[in-house]
Amino acid sequence: SAVISQKPSRDICQRGTSLTIQCQVDSQVTMMFWYRQQPGQSLTLIATANQGSEATYESGFVIDKFPISRPNLTFSTLTVSNMSPEDSSIYLCSVEYYGEQFFGPGTRLTVL
């Protein structure tokens, strides 16, 4: 299996600011994903980040709000920009690894 770590594990931010979340994997993977889990809800895909190409965003998510970097095969970042209280969620990184998808521990974001 692939082991994934995320930083920070949680944060409390003021509206209008931005937060960058880091995702580190212990193996080289082609496909990485960013999901959002709103309070009491299930997971929704934000974007797919493949190394060497631009991230692909799902309907309802835009690059200006959620810019993503994927500089190498073991690392990615997701930035939540110009935050509002509606952005309060858990943000999860996942990777496709030999046909299975593994998730990181998540970043719990609270926007005041």
Report if residue 96 touches another protein, rule: CB under 8 A.
yes
Q: Which amino acid is at 34?
A: W
- Sequence-distant (≥ 6) Cβ neighbours of residue 5 within 8 angstroms: 23, 24, 104, 105
Q: Which amino acid is at 99?
A: G
Select from 14-22, 61-69, 78-86, 101-109 the region that touches another protein (CB under 8 A): 101-109
Report if residue 105 touches another protein, rule: CB under 8 A.
yes
Going from the C-alpha of 6 to that of each of 21, 59, 60, the distances in angstroms are 7, 25, 24
Report if residue 102 touches another protein, rule: CB under 8 A.
yes
Select from 14-22, 40-48, 68-76, 78-86 the region that touches another protein (CB under 8 A): 40-48
Q: How many residues does the chain have?
A: 112
List interacting residues with another protein (CB under 8 A): 1, 4, 31, 33, 35, 41-45, 48, 58, 92, 94, 96, 99-106, 108
